[in-house]
Structure 1
Amino acid sequence: MASTTAFGDFLRFYRSRVPLTQEELAERTGLSTRAISDMERGRTLSPQFRTVQLLLDGLGLRDEEAAEFTALARASRVVAAQNRPEAPSTATSSSLPPVLLELTGRDSERLLLEGFAADASSSSRLQIAVVHGAPGSGKTALAVDAGHRLGARFADGCAFLDLRGTDTEPLAPDRAAHRLLRSFGVQERQIPSDPDDKLSLYRSRLRDRTVLLVLDNAANEAQVRPLLASSPGTLVLLTSRRVLTGLDARHRLALELLPPHHSVELLGVVTGADRVAAEPEAAARVAELCGGMPLALLIAGNRLTSRPRWTIGHLAGQLEDEGRRLSVLRAGDLQVRAAFEISYHQLGPGAAALFRRLALVPSPGADAALASVLTDDAEEALEELADASLLGISETPGRYTRHDLLQVFALERLELDEDPAVVAEVRTRLRHWLLDVATGAARFFDHDREATPSGPVHDRESASRWLELELENWREALRWAVEAGEHDRVLALAQAMHWYSDMHGVGDLWRDVFAAGAHAAQMLGNAEDAAEQLNYLSWALYALCGRPHEALAVHKKAALAPENTITEAWTCYYGSAIHRRVGEAEEAVRLGRRSVELFERAGYQIGENLALSLLGLVLHTAGHLAEAVEVQQRSVDQHRKAGGDDELLSMMLIRLATTVAASGEVPAALDLLDEAESLFRRHSNTAGTARVQHNRGLVLMDAGRFAEARAQLRAALAEARLSDHRVEIMARLAELADAAGEPGQARELRVRALAECDRYDTPAVRRTAAKLVAALTH
C-alpha cells in the first residue's frame, strides 16, 4: 500500500526537476509556501482536488505524469483515512459541512488555530476559542476548514453544530445538546425529554470524549454556556458575530477583512486565475469595492462565473454606483444586504440609531465624543455595535472603525428609517461641532490668542491628536459649511489654523482652507481679513504646493487690499519668500527688509523675529552671507530672550545653520541642527525633525561625510512635507548611490525624483529636472 508520504516525495521531486523553490511554486500556483511545505513533509494528508490541479499546472505535468500525480494524491487521502487512530463511530467528523471553496488569505489564522489545538492536547482543562467578526467575514469557512484539518488530532474526532444564532429563534441549548448527543451516537430513545436531564446527559457524554467541538454561529453567551462541559484535551471552537466577552475563553481571534492582494486572490479562486490575470486593474477595483469582505468577493466571483461574457471591468462599473452596490452583491440566496440586515435588526433602538447616523460621518473612524453628537448614550451604543461586529476596534484606543460596505448599508437604513428633518438637524449639529472643536483645537497652536479647553480638547497635545485623527471629518465639515454659506464659521476656522498649518498637514489641505477663508472674508465684506487669508493662501501655494507663480498672483491681490501695519508686514513677508522662489533675489531682499521694518514699527516681536530669519535666508540666496548670518543670529537671540515658542526657534535655527555651513563652519552648523532636532522631538514634531535631517544631510554631504549624509536624507525622505524638498532629497540620494557604486539604486531614485518634478513649477525644480534627465540619458 502506498505511503502517505509518497505524494509529498513526488511533489518534491517534480518541483526540484523544474527547478523551483517552494516560494516560486507558491507564486505560480497561488498556494501558500506553508501549504506546499506541509504536503512535501507529509503533514497534509489529504490534498484537495483543486490544490492538486493547481500543482499540475504549476509543475507543468501532462499526460502520464499528471495521471500518476493525481493517483498518488487520491491514494494519499485513502491511506490517511485508514491510518487515523480508531475512533468510535460516534466521533462525527461527518457532521462537518464539506469544503466547497479552498480557504484563501487565512494562513495566519489557520496557524493560530493549529496552536489552539496543540494547547488543548496538553491542557488539563477545557480550552475555548472564540472566532468573531463582521457579517460576511468568513468565520464559518474558517471553522469548517479547521474541523477538516484538525479533527483527526482529537481521539474522538470533530463534532460540528450550527447554533443558528442569526435566526429569529436561535437553537435553544437543550435542542443543541439533543443534536450533539445524536452525533455522539446516542439513540433517540436514550435521550431524556426533560431539558435539564438532556443537558446533564450531554455533559456526561462529552466528559468521556476528547473532541474538536465546533459550535458555529452562536447567538450569545447564554446559548453556549450550558454546552461548555469540562473535558481535558477537548477544544471548543465558537464562531459568532458577537464578541462573546462574557465567556471565559482561553483564546480569541478577531477575524479581520482580507487585505487587497488576498482579496484579488480569492476573486481569482472563484472566478478563475486566468480571468483575473487578464484584467488585473479591474480585478483590484472589484476587490477594493468589496472592501476585503469574503462574502462580497464570493458573490462577485459567482456573478462573473455565471456570466462568462461579462468583463470584470463591467462588474466594477456596476459596483462603482454606491446606491446599487449592495443590490449588485447578490447571487442566488447569497446577499450581502441580507447578512447585514440580520445583525442590524438585532440591535437595540439606541445602537441602531447610532449605526445609521454614523453614515453621516465622512471618515470610517469615530470615538465616543463624536458619537455623542449623533445620539444619546453613545458609549453604550458604541459598545453594543462593537460587540455585534458592526463596528471594529481601532488600533487607536477609544476609537472604532467601520467597513465600507457597512457604511453603504447604514446610509440605506438612514434613508429608510429616519425622518429627513431629523437627519438634516443631526447633520447640521455634526458640522457645527466638528468646526467648533477644530477651531478651538487649532488655537492651542496660536501665538496671538488664548485657547480654551473644550470637549475632547484640553491642551496642545490633545489638540494635535484630535486634529490629526479627525482631519477627514473637519475638512469635510468645512466644505459643507462653505456650501451652506456659513461664512463666520468658515473664517473663524481658517484664522485659527494659521500657526497650526506651519508644521502640520499638506499643501492641498491648506490651499483649500485658506481659499475658503479668503472667500468667506470677502463675502462678509472684511477686506483686512481677506488680505490676511490671501497671504496664507499664497504661502500654501509656494511653500507646499510648489506653485510660486500662482502664489505671486494671490500675493498681488493681498497687496491691493487696505491693510493695517501687521497685515502689510505679513504681505511683504510672504512676498519676499515668493520672489525668492521664482528667482528674483533682490526683490525678495527688498520686501524682506520692508517686512522687518513694519513688524518692528508695530511692536510685533514674533513677526519681527520670523522676518529677520527669512531676510537672512533671502540674503543667503542673494550671496550676502555675512549679513545673512548677522540677521539670522539676531532673530535667534531675540526669540530666545523673549522665551518664544520652541518650534519657531527650531525653524530659525535651521535657517541659521544652513547659512553658517555655507560660510564654512560645519561643526557650528551641526550643533545648531542638533538643538533644532531636540526641540522638535520634544514636541513629537515629525515634519520638523525631517526638515532638520534634510538640512543635516546636505551639510554632511557637502562636507564629504557621505555615509552619514545618506542616513539622514533617507530618514528625511520618509517624512518630507515641503513641495520641492522631496525632489532635492531624492536627487542628492541618487548622487550618493552613484558614489557608493549602486547605479541601479541611483537610477531608481532619479526616475522617482523626475516624476515628482512635474508637480512643481519653480526654477530650482526645473534645474534639478534638467540634471536628472542628463544623468538618466548619459
Structure 2
Amino acid sequence: MDVPGGPRLTFRVLGPLQVQGTAGPLRVPPGRQEVILAALLLETNRIVSTSQLVDLIWEDNPPETARTQVQICVSRLRKLLVDADGEVALTTRPPGYVLHTGAGNVDAALFTGLVRRARSLGEGGDREEAVRLLRSAVTLWQGDCLTGLDSGPLANAARQLNEERLAAVELRIRLELELGHHDRLVGELQRLTHEHPLREKLHGQLIQALYWSGRQAEALEAFRTARRYLAEELGLEPGRELRDLEAAILAGELPPPPAPAPPLVRGATASGPEAPDGGPAALDAASPAPIAESIRHETVPHQLPADIADFVADGQRLGTLEKALSGDGRGTVGLAAITGKPGTGKSTLAVHVAHALAETGFPDGQLYCDLRGTTAAPATPVEVLGRFLRALGIPGQLIPESLDERAEMYRTRLSTRRVLVVLDDAAGEGQVLPLLPGSRGCAVLVTSRARLTALPGAHRVELDVLDEDRALELLARIVGGDRVAGEAAAAEALVRTVGRLPLALRIVAARLAARPHWTLASMVQRLADERHRLDELAHGEMTMRASLSLTYEGLAPEDGGLLRLLSMAQAPTLPSWLAGALLDDHRPFPSDLMEPLVDVQMLDVAGVEPSGGFRYRFHEIIRVYAREQLAAQHPPDVRRAAFARMAGGWMHLAEEAHRKVYGGDFTVLHGTAPRWRPPSPYADEALADPLAWLDAEQAALCGMVGHAAEEGLHDLSWDLATSLVTLFEVRGHYDLWESTHLTALAAVRKAGNLRGTAAIRASLGSLYMSRNQYDTARQSLNSALDVFQALDEPMGEALCRRDMALIARTNGDDAAALELYRRSLADFGRADDVVGRAIVLTQSAHIRMRQGEIDLAQKQLDEALDIYEGIGYAGGRARTLRRVGQVLLEQGRNDLAVLTFTEVLELCRDSGDVIGEGHLLRDLGHAFAMMGRPDRARDFYDRAVSSREQVMDFSGGALARLDLARLLTDEPGRSRKLLVPAVEVFRERRMTRELAEAERLLGAC
C-alpha cells in the first residue's frame, strides 16, 4: 500500500489498527481515538453518527459528557491526520463525522474491491485473473480485523470482515479446483479444515481435491472426519452437499477433475475495463458494509435462579465442569450434562456452576429454562426457543412458527456471543438437541434423570449420594457447626440413616433447625422406627416417599392441608396469594400461610416479586407426594371448590390487568365464572405495571387455561384465554394465542357453550388476521358473528365487524370496509364501549385520508385521541397519533408531522415496542424527504434499516432499504448494496409491487 509517489497516509484495519505515513508509522493514542478512527475507516467517506461513536466507546453506560468527549477526541484526531497528510480530511457532517480519503488508501476498502472484481471475473470466465486478485486480496490481511481494539460492538463489524476473508479463500479455492489445480491445494485445505472445522464448504473442497488427486480412501476418511466432528461437537449430520459428495465417490459417479483451462485474453469483453491508473479496479470500489447494524445495544439476558448459600462444593467436580463448559481448551462448544437420581442435587450444582462462570466466562448473558422433563407435560423445543429468542431481544411478532426456523434464528442470534445456556430437568436428548447453539463461544449445561448417553460431545457428571464428610458439612451448615461438633457420633449416625441423600438430609436438618431444643440423637431415635423405609431411600421412589413422610407427619393439620391443596397448582412458581385462595383465607399477607412449609423445606422460596411478595416453588418429588396425600384425604367436592377459587384468582387478576392497560373493561367479552379476589394491597402492587405482570405470569396463566378446561371449568377457560390477548397481541405471542384458544375451544364445544365458542372463534379470527391468513380469518369471524347475532351480543358483533372491516381494507375494498366500520360503531355504541369506538375511528380514518377526505379523517382522529386521553390508554393514543402525523404530512404541515412522529417514537421506546420504533423511524424518513432534507431522511431510513434487521424483521428492513435507495440515485454503488438483499426479501415474501420498483432501481444502478 505504501508506494513511491503514493499517498502520504495509508490505513490498515485488516489486523491491528495501523496508520502508515511517508516518515513511518503514525502513532494514534490508544483507547477512544483508536476506536473512533477504526469506526470511521470502516465507513470511509460515509457518515458515522455521534451516537454510534458513543455506543462504540461506552456501550451500555455512557457518561453525561459522552458527546462532548467524542467531539474532543475527533478534534484531536483531525489535527493528527491533517498534520500528517493534507489530503486526508475528517469533517463534521450532521449527525456525525466523515473521514474522506481515497478508497485505495484503506486496506479494507481495497480488499472488498479486489474480491468484488475477482467475483465478476470468475463469473465472466477469467478464473486465472480472479485467482490472482483473490490471492492479492488475502495478502492484505495481517491477522484478525482490528486485533487488540477494546470495543464489543466494533468487534461485531470486525467479525463480518473476518467472515468475508474466509469466503474469499473459499471462492479462490473453488476457482482453482475448476482450473484443475487440485493436487497443489490438498495441504492448504488440510490446514484450513483444521483451523475452521465447522465450515462444511472447506471440508467438501478437501474431499474433492483428494479424490481428484487419486487419493480416494483419504477423501472418504476426510468425509468421516468431518462427520465425526460435527456429530461430536454439535450433534448434527453433515449437510446435503457433503453427503452427496460421499455418495458420488462411493458410487463412482463423481465427475473427473477438470482439465487445466487456457487463460482468457483479458480485455473489455472478458473482464471489463481496467482502472484508469492501471492499478486494481478495487481502488474505485465502495468500502465495506456499514457497521450501523453492529453497534446497537444488544439484549443481555440474566435468567439464572438464585444460588444457595449452604452449597457444599466438590472442588474436583466443579473444576471438571468449568473446564468442560469452557470447551476443554479445544475451541469447541462446551457441553456438560449432570445426571443422577431424584434428590441428588443436580439442579443445585448446575446453578452454582453457572453462577461461578457467569461473569467472567459468559459476559453476553445466561439463559435458563426448566424443561419439566419429569412432568406429564415437558416443555417442547419450540416453546423453549420462543422464550429464549424473546429473551435475546427478538419481538414475538418476528419469531417463526417452525422448530427448524426458530433453531436457525437462535443459532444466528448466538453466533457472535458468549452465552451460557442452562437446561434443567431434561426428559432426553431429543428435547435438548434443538437447543444447542452453533457458536463455540457458547456453552450448555444440562441436568436430567436420564443418563443422556446419546448427547454427542457432552462431558457427563453423574451425581450419587454425598460422601460422609460432605454430608456432615451440609448438616453443619443448616443446623449449626456447634450442634454437630457437640454430638459428633449422633451426626454421623444421622447422615448414615438418611442414606446421605441431599434432599432427605436437608429435610431432616430443617426440622432440627426449626427445633433447637431437639438433640441430634433424638432425631436418630425418631428415625429408627422408619429404618426399613429409610434404607430404601437410596434405591428409588418408595424410599423418597418414606423420607418425606417424616417431615409431612410433623406438620400442623392446617399446614398439611395447604401443602396438599397447593399440589393442584401447575405453575412453575407459586405466588403467595394462592394459599389464601385455596383456603379461602382473606388475610392481607397470605405468605404467612406459606412460611411454615418453607421452614421445613417442603416449599422453597423462589424469589421476590416486584410487589415485595415472595414466590415459592415445590421440589417435584414433594409435589408428587403431596398429590398422593390430596387424593387420599380430600373428597372431590372440596378439591373442586379449592381449584375453582384458585382459577378464579388468576381470572380476577388477568381481568384487572386488561382493565389497567385499556383504561377499563373495553373490547373484551367475559363469562360468568366466579372470581376470587386476592388481597387488595397485593393486587394493586402486582398490577402497578399490568403488562409486566402478564409477562411474568405468562406460563401460569396459559397453563391455567388448559387446567381449567380439564377440570370442566369451560366458562373460565375461554374467558381467561381471550383476556390474555391483551398480552399476546402487544408482545406478538402468536403461538401462545393459538394454543390457549384451541384448548379452550375444545372445552366450550364439548360443553355446548355457544357464547364461549363464538368468543374464541372471534379472537382466533383476529389472530389469523395478524398472520395475514385472511381467508381463514374471514371464516372464523363469520362463524362467530352468526352466533353473536343469534344471541344478540353487541360486543361480539362489534369485534367481528371491526376485524372484517380491516380485512376488507387490506384487500382494497374501501366501500365494504366503511360499511362494516359503520355497523361496528353502532354495535360498540350499544355495548357502551368507547375504546372500541376509538379503534374503529382510527382505522377508518386511514381510508378517509387515502380518499382525500382529510378534514373528516382529522375529525375522527381527534375524537379517538380525546377518548384515549380521557381513559389513559397509552397504546391506543400512540397508534392514533401516528395516523395524525400521516394526516399532517398529507396537509403539507411537515414540521408538525415531525414533532408528532417524534413524540410517538418516544412512546414506543418507553413501552419497549421495537416494531413500532421501526415504523416511526421510517415515518420520520418520509417526513424529512418530503421537506427536501435528504440528509436527515437518509439518517432516519438508515436507522430504520438497522432497527428492523437488528430484530430480524427483514421485510420491514427491505422496505426501509428501498426508501433509502430512492434517495441515493447519485450513489449507484451504495444503492445497489441496499437493493440486492431487498430484492431477495421482496421475492421471497411475494411483495410484487415493491419487488418491481426495487428491480427497476437496481437496473438503473
Please, what TM-score do these two structures have when normalized by structure 1? 0.50
Q: TM-score, normalised by structure 2?
A: 0.40
